[in-house]
Amino acid sequence: MDDQLSRFRQSIDNIDAALVYMLAERFKVTKAVGELKAREGLPPADPGREERQIERLRSLARDADLDPEFSEKFLRFIIEEVIRHHQQVREAGA
């Protein structure tokens, strides 16, 4: 049992590492988007796009047998953080 548990935990550790790197890459891109938006005078948030993304990921979650409510909460947390970063970039340029 200890060997099996160890293998499960190693897999979980690998998945967690992949999530961290994927989030880091996502935030690099959204940082560039925030800088572009600030230069072009666009608002930090795009509520229409955000809602479309949330619905898209809820559908993907259902297909993946993941709780859509959880996926929405997770994405909303990320979106809020991105908007906060975009606001900071905009304020720094003002």
pTM for this model (two decimals) = 0.84
| Tens digit of each residue's pLDDT (9 = 90 or more) over 45-94 | 999 999 999 999 999 999 999 999 999 999 999 999 999 999 999 999 86
* Contact call for residues 54 and 76 (beta carbons, < 8 A): yes
DSSP codes of every residue in 44-73: S--HHHHHHHHHHHHHHHHHTT--HHHHHH
Q: What is the pLDDT of residues 3-43, one digit of tens each?
A: 999 999 999 999 999 999 999 999 999 999 999 999 999 99
Q: Of 15, 16, 17, 23, which Cα lies nearest the Cα of 81?
A: 23
Q: Identify which has the larger pLDDT, 44 or 93.
A: 44
DSSP three-state, residue 94: coil
Token pair listed for 14: 């690998």
Give, rounded to a whole angstrom, the gap between the first and last alpha carbons of the chain: 59
CA distance linking residue 38 with residue 36, whole number of Å: 5
Would you give the DSSP letter of residue 1?
-
**What domains, with CATH codes, occur in the chain?**
1-93 (1.20.59.10)
